[in-house]
Amino acid sequence: MKKLFVTIVSAAAMLASATVANLTVTGAAQADALAQNLCTYVEGNDRLRMRQKLREDRLQLRRVYESIVCNGMTLIQFAMHTGSDDIGEFMVSQLPGSALESTGDLEWAESNGHGNGSVAQAIRERIGG
């Protein structure tokens, strides 16, 4: 399982070169597919499908959260950017406050005009601020 999480960060680069060379990179391909799915679910504000995917893959969001990036943003930042408040609040409820603090999601929200939104408020409540 840990190898899957480690490969998420470099999955895009490895997958691109592996696809061109027609190599089989199962771990990287699975990690890339997971990241793409989660980003799609966040963009579509589809909390149900995200929960099903995590359950299907036997993953906890807190274990993969810091490794997944959607358009250069964390999953919660991407949720705020796309206006996906339901799934943003869901993700905040699934993550420990320390993870939210270390990724700087609240600071990002405040500096990008999302500081008054419901997701930012949920983060404040979660981290106790």
Count structural domains, the chain: 1
Structural domain that includes position 94? 2-127
28 or 121, which is more confident?
121
Q: Which of 86, 1, 71 is nearest to 35 (CA)?
A: 71
Average pLDDT over residues 19-45: 74
What mean pLDDT is predicted for residues 75-88? 96
pLDDT given at position 65: 93
Q: Considering the chain, what percentage of its residues have pLDDT values greater than 90?
A: 69
CB under 8 Å to 78, separation ≥6 — which residues?
A: 39, 42, 43, 70, 71, 84
Give the SS3 label for residue 99: helix
pLDDT value for 129? 63
Structure tokens at 87: 């799934």
Q: What's the CA gap between 100 and 11, in Å, rounded? A: 23
Give DSSP secondary structure letters for 37-88: HHHHHHHTT-HHHHHHHHHHTT--HHHHGGG--BTTB-HHHHHHHHT-HHHH
Region 67-88: mean pLDDT is 95
pLDDT for the residue numbered 19: 37
Residue 23's pLDDT is: 34
Q: Could you tell me what percent of the chain has a pLDDT over 70? A: 78
